[in-house]
Structure 1
């Protein structure tokens, strides 16, 4: 079994965006539902790629796409409605055909994340769905979003 991650501060994430916790994302216990965390992480991942020119979401795009082959989250504290959110993203590992992404989800007034997420993206050709080596755009994005040495 792997070692438990620790909550990280906002400064550990080179890219971030604000969001508003949606009413529909709350569960019967009054807090952000576990599944919803992954939705916020997935949105952050794709927005970070778009912001860094590494993903063209248009239908006519030819750049590779990332397929999630592994994901998960660890939770440290509750997030309850209503609150503003802050989600941070970073690249934690660069492979030949993959990037390992890390995320932190924060209640707006907190410096330590309430949850950390991890996604492994394998980049594939849009038509064949076969893995391809990371493009220069993806490598530049990974470099810009490289995690500091605080894992």
Structure 2
């Protein structure tokens, strides 16, 4: 994320999750702490995977897991307590063993995101931790959450 991004509208994200800003995520200045944005993005990513049956958290699961190899955020406006939040998620790039995820964090009622985030997941075997090709469920999830091309 070396280039300066622009805030995106809600429609740029095909998947979303609503939540509330947690008191503990506010900093001494009264706004959402920078590091907390990544927590909201990470939760949305995993909920999207679970919702699309691309992540099995059961004890005997054998499907690959995603390891974060890169993440980051760019900020456009403050979010302050108390407020409801809306986290948008999308898949921006599909590799052989990886997915690049994009996120937008919105304050209640805002049409443009207050922050954009990116995570790169490399999918690995649970035991060996070696990269493996994306599975059918991961590819289906990526298709369902593909970033719109018209925004």
What's the TM-score once normalised by structure 1's chain length?
0.98
Q: What is aligned with 1:94?
A: 94
Runs (4+) of structure 1 exceeding 2 A deviation are: none
Q: What is aligned with 1:68?
A: 68
Shift of 1:150: 5.6
User: Which consecutive unaligned segments of at least 5 residues does structure 1 have?
Assistant: none
Separation in structure 1 between the aligned mates of residue 4 and residue 93 of structure 2, nearest angstrom: 18
Shift of 1:87: 0.2
Q: What is the Cα-based RMSD across aligned positions, in Å? A: 1.1
CA-to-aligned-CA distance 1:63-98 (integer Å, 9 cap, x gap)? 100000000000000000000000000000000000
Separation in structure 1 between the aligned mates of residue 118 and residue 150 of structure 2, nearest angstrom: 15
Q: What is aligned with 2:56?
A: 56
Q: How does 1:65-144 map to 2 (within 5 A)?
A: 65-144=65-144
Separation in structure 2 between the aligned mates of residue 113 and residue 11 of structure 1, nearest angstrom: 11
Q: How does 1:33-48 map to 2 (within 5 A)?
A: 33-48=33-48
Number of residue pairs matched by the alignment? 151
Separation in structure 2 between the aligned mates of residue 3 and residue 22 of structure 1, nearest angstrom: 30
